[in-house]
Amino acid sequence: MPTDERRYIITFGCPDRMGIVAGIAGFLADAGGWIVEASYHTDPDTGWFFTRQVVRADSLPFGVEELRTRFGTVATALSAESGWKVDDTGEQRRVVLLVSKEGHCLYDLLGRVTAGELDARVCAVIGNHATLGPVTRGHGIPFFHVPFPAGDPEGKAAAFARVRQLVDKHDPHAIVLARFMQVLPAELCEAWQGRALNIHHSFLPSFVGAKPYHQAYTRGVKLVGATCHYVSADLDAGPIVEQDVMRVNHGDSVADMVRKGRDVEKVTLARGLRWHLESRVLVHGNKTVVF
């Protein structure tokens, strides 16, 4: 990446009060930081302040580790309750994909990465079926088949332990459940909190759980949708990153709705993943701010 294109991204949140913006801007100005993007939001219900600041890396006389150290002092001075991080666009984002049999989300993400539309490296694809192995390997990406034995709790626990081992060795910035069709155990939800993204083929919170298109068809809905959200221990209830919908009508069968829904799913997942990798998503409780 050319030096003048490399950026440091600061995301910060704390209880709102006077002087937060001045404190951050003053710190960056004193260091010579050239701010190229700045976003702010205060949630009136919680009184929580959020900001995302993007700084040209070549404008600072020190590297990202020293920036983290110095900004940590500023963050603590602004609020003892602050949450923050500093990301470096010079470090390519690492992604691991979890899949099952349906490939539309996988095909879409691999296509975007191959075309250079999504600046990330897919380190591995892990499937509980071997179906998507050939297309994954065709892109030069390792594929790991980890079967999940039905009706065998101990075997399932061992399978999740193997998945965790395969994922964690890459220390990924994102773990994407690209129609993985397995419910992550609570310990994995906790370990991957804020990094595990799921695509749910429904406009949550409507039609939670299995076969949402069948539920929607029975209800006679006129819109079907998809929700990209962070994974939490509460099924399909994690913080929402992105949603989209598509119109359907009385003439559409369940199969038609599934086909249309797949188009929405892959676009919604790609958007949510991009925003996550660009550090645009700030989480507070079960809500998100997406800058």
Is residue 14 domain-shared with residue 78, that is, in the same domain?
A: yes
Known catalytic residue: 30?
A: no
Assign 287 to helix, strand or coil: strand
Instruction: From 88, 103, 126, give the residue that closes a domain.
Output: 88
Closest CA to 184 of 145, 230, 226, 151: 230
Given a contact cutoff of 8 angstroms between Cβ atoms, the answer to whether 87 and 9 are in contact is yes
For the beta carbon of residue 124, count every other beta carbon within 10 angstroms: 19
Mean pLDDT of 200-228: 77
Q: Mean pLDDT across the stretch 276-280? A: 98
CATH number at residue 171: 3.40.50.170
CATH number, residue 45:
3.30.70.260
Q: Terminal CA-to-CA distance of the chain, rounded, Å?
A: 23
Phi and psi (nearest 5°) for 146? -120, 100
Same domain, 196 and 276: yes
Q: Does 272 lie in the same domain as 144?
A: yes
Last residue of a domain, one of 34, 53, 88: 88
Claim to verify: residue 104 and residue 164 sit in the same structural domain:
yes
Reported as a pLDDT band with limits 50, 70 and 90, residue 235 is confident
Considering the domain architecture, whether residues 98 and 43 belong to the same structural domain is answered as: no
Using an 8 Å Cβ cutoff, are 64 and 8 in contact? yes
27, 91 contact by CB (below 8 A): no
Task: Judge whether residue 143 has pLDDT over 70.
Answer: yes
Co-location of 78 and 177 in the same domain:
no
Backbone angles phi, psi at 50, to 5 degrees: -130, 145
| Domain end (from 88, 105, 129) | 88
Same domain for 149 and 63, yes or no, is no
- Judge whether residue 237 has pLDDT over 90: no
Q: Annotate 15-54 with DSSP letters as a single string.
A: E--TTHHHHHHHHHHHTT--EEEEEEEEETTTTEEEEEEE
Whether residues 145 and 221 fall in one domain: yes
pLDDT in tens, 149-207: 988 889 999 999 999 999 999 999 999 999 998 999 999 999 999 999 999 887 666 67
Q: How many domains does the chain have?
A: 2
- 86 beta partners: 10
Active-site residue identified among 16, 45, 108, 236? 236
* C-alpha dihedral, 205 to 207 to 209 to 215, nearest 10°: 180
pTM: 0.92
The reply to whether 155 and 264 lie within a common domain is yes
- Cα separation, 280 vs 285, in Å, equals 16
* Residues 157, 53 within the same domain: no
pLDDT of residue 150: 86
C-alpha closest to that of 289 among 46, 72, 21: 46
Query: Is 249's pLDDT higher than 90?
Result: no
> Do residues 245 and 199 both lie within one domain?
yes
For residues 101 and 71, membership in a common domain is answered with: no
- Reported as a pLDDT band with limits 50, 70 and 90, residue 221 is confident
Token duo for residue 102:
């349906």
Q: Which domain holds residue 80?
A: 3-88
CA pair distance 258, 226, nearest whole angstrom: 11
The mean of the pLDDT values for the chain is 93
